[in-house]
Structure 1
């Protein structure tokens, strides 16, 4: 059984769902967003389902569907539930038996609280997942990216690398250099996100993704 791939970000609204769709398409992987806090017309799972076109990937239902768009621990409190990481781990064990590749999309960044004492980083560790960090190019993203990388190293998380998206601003090479984590590729800004766009960029991500998945994590830099 392959370890799952967990897509996290340097913050909220940085393109995790877009990247998760592209990675799922590239690897013909299943997709799962275990915690959805707030939703409008569609869940993120619906968005991914509408963007993936390989015919093999299966989009799994969310485990926690929380009504309020906020930090998951607050949204759960409002809905009178508690997010339990052990329950999510058991649910994951069932899902992971369906497809050897599973892409899991997180909520916000690594230090988003899930309950009174546990964070997204704790969920990643509990699932023993390999991590893709999504960084969107904006003023301040170097700081947010390097803080995220520092936490990954402190938590000894297994990092596959970065996926950058949005406009090119010259930040990417510096973030790779200073973090010590490789770039898996980038997805440019577009006005139209559809199946054709995801398929195109999935093909571009696929070679580096496959190389990174085959590497021995023990040989990765630990700065």
Structure 2
């Protein structure tokens, strides 16, 4: 099982959801591109929030906390899709993208191109805010257009029933829904508790 975690935008909780799934599946973790926060990367967070997780090194580590194409340009680098290779592991693997599907890696390539290149199914993290329905449905449409399998739709936090119903009705029957309760202060204990809750739902 290898899975690419993406989101309907920035700050929707991809790293927390990645930690829960990494803990649940006892998987390895890989962040292909880290833009900014090099002293406190998403890999560092996963290591501190989960038990004994192997975090594979990023392909690109960029200093500026911005869109990867801008961060790379600041360092006179051009991100090349051919540089990305899945880590060699016999274990399950959780891969976490940066931002949403149309975040630019360069002027010509986007995060969705990386998912397609790696040939991975996706898990889409959704968070409730004004506009999340629009962003969710556009993201699902984009994945369908590229024929990328949407393995999981992840509702991160609480949602009005009307919002959840509309988004859920837009996915294919093969897509499974995951609900992760609000985790305000991620820690080993809170991530483990969320993973145990997933076990109870027979994910």
Instruction: Report if TM-score (shorter chain) is over 0.5.
Output: yes
- Greater Cα shift, 154-163 or 35-44: 35-44
Aligned to 1:218: none
Spell out, residue by residue over 1:66-111, the C-alpha distance to the aligned partner (whole angstroms, 9 max, x if none).
Answer: 111111111101011111111112xx1xx2x323311100010111
Match status 1:194 vs 2:187? yes
Match of 1:150 among 117, 141, 165: 141
Distance 1:32 1:48, change over 3 A: same
Aligned to 2:167: 175
What is the TM-score of this pair, normalised by structure 2? 0.92
What is the TM-score of this pair, normalised by structure 1? 0.84
Match status 1:60 vs 2:52? no
- Count of residues paired in the alignment: 201
C-alpha distance in 2 between matches for 1:161 and 1:173: 16
C-alpha distance in 2 between matches for 1:119 and 1:209: 34
Match of 2:28 among 23, 27, 30: 30
Aligned to 2:93: 102
Q: How far off is 1:40 after superposition?
A: 6.3
Match status 1:73 vs 2:69? yes
C-alpha distance in 1 between matches for 2:166 and 2:14: 21
Q: How far off is 1:194 after superposition?
A: 1.0
Give the unaligned 5+ runs of structure 1. 211-223
Report 1:8-19 matches (<5 A). 8-19=6-17
More helix by share: 1
Superposition RMSD in Å: 1.8
Aligned to 1:133: 124
Give the unaligned 5+ runs of structure 2. none
Quick check: 1:33–1:105 contact (8 Å CA) kept in 2?
A: yes
Match of 1:88 among 84, 89, 95: 84
Quick check: 2:181–2:194 contact (8 Å CA) kept in 1?
A: no
